[in-house]
Amino acid sequence: MLKVYVTDDSLRESASNLDDVTLFSELSKVLNICLTSTNFKLREDKKLIPEKMKLTSRLANINSPWMVWARKSIGNYNWVINYANYLLLEYEKRKGATELIKYYRNVLASAMKIDAGEFIKGIRMTPMPNTTTNFKFIADVYEAYRKELIVIWAGKLKSGKQVIWTNNSVPDWFAETEFFKSVCTVLEDLEVVDG
């Protein structure tokens, strides 16, 4: 199922909270939502997007809760466009102005050229879907996605994988977990032994 990890009502903060791997994944997913939400016009209009962009759009997710939500109102669609922009800014801050960033900027610019009002009837933003695996019972969607990311990141760290925030700090809500504090204590103890 398509998930969009939104961890804060500030889109800038939400993008900043994501680790490098999640950030790149979110950027791709959110741009995919932009492309498929406008009745597929972007994917079919070769003047608006390059031929290779067709490969990025996945029809399998067309009825996922986030895709349906984006098509429900102009407010929702504009939120997706804005979140894509903040994800791009954060990715560029971490990785620099790469060819991929330039390509994604063109995709986003193309998505912004579409008059979504042609395809989307609602105006106001509606509540975001909670597509978390284990936290659907939490009413605050931001808290639910934060909890899910805590579980994901803790699992990665437990299995010896890295969770990296290039040119950024670990979000406070993760740094304050007992698990993260215990990992930091173990690492400090290792440095004392190795040092």
How far apart (Å, rounded) are the C-alpha atoms in residues 76 and 58?
Answer: 20
How far apart (Å, rounded) are the C-alpha atoms in residues 44 and 148?
Answer: 35
Q: What is the dihedral of CA 158, 19, 58, 99, to 10 degrees?
A: -130
Half-sphere exposure of residue 141: CA atoms within 13 angstroms, side-chain side: 14
How far apart (Å, rounded) are the C-alpha atoms in residues 89 and 104?
Answer: 11
How far apart (Å, rounded) are the C-alpha atoms in residues 95 and 106?
Answer: 18
Structure tokens at 26: 């979110």
Q: Residues 54-99: pLDDT tens digits?
A: 434 455 567 788 888 888 888 888 888 889 889 889 989 998 887 8
- 5 in Cβ contact with 149 (< 8 Å): yes
pTM of the entire predicted model: 0.79
Range in 101-110, 113-122, 170-179 with the lowest mean pLDDT = 113-122
Q: Using the Cα atoms of residue 126, residue 173, residue 149 and residue 25 in order, give the sign of their dihedral.
A: positive
> Counting every residue, how long is the chain?
195
